[in-house]
Chain A
């Protein structure tokens, strides 16, 4: 009986490991290629491991594009988007979850309707707004529309609604005003929700592609995604350079993921439970 179970487990692990191999291979290949010379990468048949682990491709990419600048743009855009969006969303979420005021539900439903519409619908007018206020090809263009999120508001509202009402009533009777209650009592209690939203937003902002591609077209103002596309066009056969760019583009989020993997995975796992 026990040996039968062991054999079963062996096969389960075998299948899962094959899956892990397929999942991990592109990452491994990306890293290995990035340490080769262009000549070695194109050699037929190719080497699996680089003959020597060279940093040439990384040096080349930093000097070829305004890569440092692009990196900085992506960091700034991601930070601003995340901090401001989470701040705005938590405020609005508290307001919608806990305070009564006229037209509350009507406003909330109007905002939620944004979630039902695919993003392409907004792109042309958003672009024209940014153009009209003269911000095309600037850093603010990268993040302005992303500062406001219906999804984040909805997500955090759920967290505020799950808190007991008594907490707030007690504080109100003690003479605290709404702003104090929000900052000192409620906000610390929805920390898990805030962490989820921070992770989600940071990942989205870092990986975003179409919007930065549209608004910022000069190489100095790009973010990583569109810059990689330019790189691919300019250095068609410099595969180690392309892979070095890819490595540098995915590393920050992968590091973030390994630090917060529990929160990353739980945030996603919960998304299906209510659905």
Chain B
């Protein structure tokens, strides 16, 4: 820093000219992204907030109606039930997903052969198209001919309409969500585990700590920042489940109401029914919910996340 100032002090006039050239270059470099984000993201954000206070009809003519959309939303049982389904999804998948991905990461962190092959195979589902694999899972779950029920029947049990029973459908969707995300989160956690200094384990081994004690006393506490990161990102993506539900549960499915997430509701309201003002208000509610949960997490982390 000090070095740069001395240099700049000598050819003063040229520095001024160069600086201006630099400004222009700087603006030119950032122009495409900045203009694009302003037009397609930042201004739409403002517009969306405005729409949420408007009634936007099918011809996209909007009339200001104040807080009416919000008032309506809080009385809309569909909003509550889809929010409930979404919360259920988040509450079930986040802890189970964390547990599974930590277990697999821990096993892969043991000195065994073939770690990189396992990593690759576990990671695979997270790169594939959700729409495509949802179709495959739907076929597996199929009541009459699906391989799941066939296996159950072969074992002497009875088949079940996994995706049509309102009691089980959401859980079956959660399984697909977990199947797609566990490998991904496992990679992040494994990288975190590999970043823990060996010296901790060596010291613990000298003190006579077994592998379980080492896992709970060293690995888990040292991993808390990574666990926290995975938790936050999983919660945020859990709130936005869409593709899998859209593909697996059609409108005529008896389990339709039991599986609709809040983003599904947003989509239907905005693009099936054309209530764009109301849908905008729903999207603001999703945003608010994610913000609130994230802020709670950020406050709560002080109690359990270790930053040393």
**Complex: A269 Cα to B122 Cα, angstroms:** 14
B300 interface residue per 8 A CB criterion: no
Nearest chain B residue, comparing its CB with the CB of A21: B121
Within 8 A of B (CB), among A110-135: 110-111, 113-114, 117-129, 131
Shortest C-beta distance, B211 to chain A (Å), equals 9
B202 interface residue per 8 A CB criterion: no
Question: What is the interface size of chain A, counting residues whose CB is below 8 A from a CB of the partner?
Answer: 99
Pick from A23, A26, A102, A233: contact of B122, CB under 8 Å: A23
Q: Are B191 and A269 in contact (CB under 8 A)?
A: yes
**Complex: A88 Cα to B154 Cα, angstroms:** 57
**Complex: A41 Cα to B242 Cα, angstroms:** 28
Q: Are A270 and B37 in contact (CB under 8 A)?
A: no
Within 8 A of B (CB), among A14-55: 15-16, 19-20, 22-24, 26-27, 29-30, 33, 41-46
Interface centre among A24, A110, A119, A265, by most chain B C-beta atoms within 10 angstroms, is A265
Interface 1/0 per residue, B115-150 and A, CB below 8 Å: 000111111110111111101111110101101001
Given A177-B25, A179-B25, residue A23 in contact with residue B179 (CB < 8 A): yes
Q: Are B29 and A147 in contact (CB under 8 A)?
A: no
Shortest C-beta distance, B32 to chain A (Å), equals 4
A7 interface residue per 8 A CB criterion: no
Given A20-B122, A129-B44, residue A228 in contact with residue B132 (CB < 8 A): yes
B203 interface residue per 8 A CB criterion: no
B215 interface residue per 8 A CB criterion: no
**Complex: A253 Cα to B226 Cα, angstroms:** 27
Pick from B36, B132, B190, B247: contact of A147, CB under 8 Å: B36
Nearest chain B residue, comparing its CB with the CB of A247: B132
In the complex, what residues of A have CB within 8 A of residue B150's CB? 44-46
Nearest chain A residue, comparing its CB with the CB of B41: A114
Question: What is the interface size of chain B, counting residues whose CB is below 8 A from a CB of the partner?
Answer: 97
In the complex, what residues of B have CB within 8 A of residue A264's CB? 123, 127
**Complex: A67 Cα to B26 Cα, angstroms:** 44
Nearest chain A residue, comparing its CB with the CB of B129: A207
Shortest C-beta distance, A143 to chain B (Å), equals 11
Given A94-B29, A99-B29, A144-B40, residue A24 in contact with residue B147 (CB < 8 A): no
Within 8 A of B (CB), among A170-188: 177-179, 182
Shortest C-beta distance, B292 to chain A (Å), equals 13
Given A29-B136, A92-B33, residue A273 in contact with residue B22 (CB < 8 A): no
Mark the stretch among A57-65, A148-156, A190-198 that contacts chain B.
Answer: A148-156
Q: Are B145 and A92 in contact (CB under 8 A)?
A: no
Nearest chain B residue, comparing its CB with the CB of A97: B29
Q: Are B122 and A270 in contact (CB under 8 A)?
A: no
Q: Are A101 and B139 in contact (CB under 8 A)?
A: no
Q: Are A148 and B33 in contact (CB under 8 A)?
A: yes
In the complex, what residues of A have CB within 8 A of residue B239's CB? 118
Q: Are B139 and A33 in contact (CB under 8 A)?
A: yes
B163 interface residue per 8 A CB criterion: no
In the complex, what residues of B have CB within 8 A of residue A120's CB? 240, 263, 266, 283, 286-287
Q: Are A26 and B140 in contact (CB under 8 A)?
A: yes
Q: Are A41 and B132 in contact (CB under 8 A)?
A: no
Pick from B122, B127, B266: contact of A203, CB under 8 Å: B127
**Complex: A207 Cα to B187 Cα, angstroms:** 20
Q: Are B192 and A225 in contact (CB under 8 A)?
A: no
What's the A-B contact tally at a CB cutoff of 8 Å?
Answer: 288
Given A44-B144, A89-B33, A148-B32, residue A19 in contact with residue B122 (CB < 8 A): yes
B246 interface residue per 8 A CB criterion: yes
A75 interface residue per 8 A CB criterion: no
In the complex, what residues of B have CB within 8 A of residue A118's CB? 236, 239-240, 283, 286-287, 290
**Complex: A197 Cα to B2 Cα, angstroms:** 35
Shortest C-beta distance, B287 to chain A (Å), equals 6
Shortest C-beta distance, A152 to chain B (Å), equals 8
Mark the stretch among B65-73, B76-84, B89-97, B105-113 that contacts chain A.
Answer: B105-113
Q: Are B33 and A124 in contact (CB under 8 A)?
A: no
Interface 1/0 per residue, B51-74 and A, CB below 8 Å: 100000000100000000000000
Q: Are B246 and A26 in contact (CB under 8 A)?
A: no
Nearest chain A residue, comparing its CB with the CB of B263: A120
In the complex, what residues of B have CB within 8 A of residue A243's CB? 135-136, 139
A189 interface residue per 8 A CB criterion: no
Pick from A15, A46, A95: contact of B30, CB under 8 Å: A95
B200 interface residue per 8 A CB criterion: no
B172 interface residue per 8 A CB criterion: no
In the complex, what residues of A have CB within 8 A of residue B25's CB? 95, 99, 177-179
A272 interface residue per 8 A CB criterion: yes
Nearest chain B residue, comparing its CB with the CB of A232: B135
Given A99-B29, A125-B47, A225-B131, residue A27 in contact with residue B23 (CB < 8 A): no
Q: A148-B32, A257-B124 are in contact. List 7 more A-B contacts (CB 8 A).
A: A20-B122, A107-B34, A118-B236, A121-B44, A178-B26, A229-B131, A239-B142
> What are 17 A-B contacts defined by CB distance under 8 Å?
A19-B122, A30-B133, A43-B145, A44-B145, A46-B145, A95-B30, A100-B19, A114-B42, A124-B283, A128-B60, A206-B129, A214-B267, A257-B124, A272-B229, A273-B191, A273-B192, A275-B226
Q: Which 7 A-B pairs have the closest CB atoms?
A: A148-B36, A95-B29, A125-B44, A275-B229, A269-B191, A101-B26, A272-B188
